[in-house]
Structure formats: C-alpha cells, structure tokens
Amino acid sequence: MSEIVVLGFKDMTSADEAAEDLQRMQSEGLISLSDWARVIRKPDGKTDVKQAVGTAGTGAAGGALWGMLFGLIFLIPIAGLAIGAATGALMGALSDYGIDDKFIKGLSNQIKPGTSALFLQVERATGDKVVERLNKYEPELLRTSLSQEAEDKLRSAMQPAATA
C-alpha cells in the first residue's frame, strides 16, 4: 500500500533539487515512488506545479498505437492513428492517477510564498537512508497518510535537519 508524504522547503529551489535526488535514490533502489509532484509558491502567490507523469501524453501514445493497429486491420492506418491519439489524449486527461490533483491544489494554497513542496506517493522506502539524504534540504513534514506512530518516527528522524 502506498503512502502520501508532503515535504515543505524554505526556498523555491530545494524541492526541485530534492526531486532529482529522489530520482537517483529510486534508480539505486532506496525508494519506490508511484507518483510525485513539485509545487513552487512564487513570491507573488502564484503556484507552479510539476507532476511526474502527464496522463494526457501517456494516453495519446497508447491511443495512437491502438488506433494505428485497428487502422491497419481496416486499411486506414493514418486515420486510425489520429483518432486513437485524440481519444487516448482525452481519456488520459480525464483520468487522474496517483496523487489527487485537488489535494495538491488545496495544500499548495497553504504553502507560504517564496517556498516549495514535494508531494510523494511512496510505495516502499529504505527510510533511514532516504531521510539521511533528504535532510540536507532541511525539509519540513507538512502532511502524511502514515499512522501517527510512523509519522512521529519520521518527524523525529527529520528533526536534526530542522534544528541544525
């Protein structure tokens, strides 16, 4: 079962840096993320959201493939490709996988201007190693779906970064 962890950062660049580090940790097998999103709250209050996977693009690619295959069967591959891509993009845009967009938007409005946050959907993690590598960014635990006991352990593991 996956868990949601939202980390806040004191500036607008740390979330991007931490996201890159998380991707390296994922390739090292230290963490498995099924989805993530980065939010920057600019000084003027506007938010910039970057998500790991765009469902419209993925849907368009899948739809194009299936459309072309059906098009080949019925001897109209180009029309099948175009119709499949359009249908796939529409279905992908209407689908919401991973972290709920409303949750991201709602919590993004609570982030202080001039700061950033990472929304992580964690499948599994080697907690001590991941926390150790993330502590250099001085994250603040904003929200989790963890049990209270697990959340308290994570907070205390991140404590040295906040007090240093």
> Pairing mode, if any, of strands 31-41 and 47-51?
antiparallel
Is the pLDDT score of 89 beyond 70?
A: no
Nearest to 117 by CA among 139, 87, 96: 139
Instruction: Please give the average per-residue pLDDT across 110-135, as a whole number.
Output: 90
Q: Quick one: tokens of 135? A: 């502590």
pLDDT of residue 8: 92
Per-residue confidence band for 125, with pLDDT thresholds at 50, 70 and 90: confident
Domains of the chain: which residue ranges?
3-52+100-163, 55-94
Per-residue confidence band for 100, with pLDDT thresholds at 50, 70 and 90: confident
Helical (H) or strand (E) element with 95: none
3-52+100-163 CATH choice from 1.10.287, 3.30.200, 3.40.50, 3.40.1520: 3.40.1520
pLDDT of residue 74: 58
pLDDT of residue 56: 43
Instruction: Please give the average per-residue pLDDT across 81-101, as a whole number.
Output: 59
The tens digit of pLDDT for each residue in 132-162 reads 999 999 999 888 888 888 888 888 888 764 4
The tens digit of pLDDT for each residue in 24-83 reads 999 999 998 888 999 999 999 898 888 886 444 445 555 555 555 555 555 555 655 566
**CB-based contact 143:118 (threshold 8 Å):** no
pLDDT of residue 64: 55
CA distance 114 to 23: 24
Q: Pseudo-torsion of CA 129, 51, 3, 97, nearest 10°?
A: -140
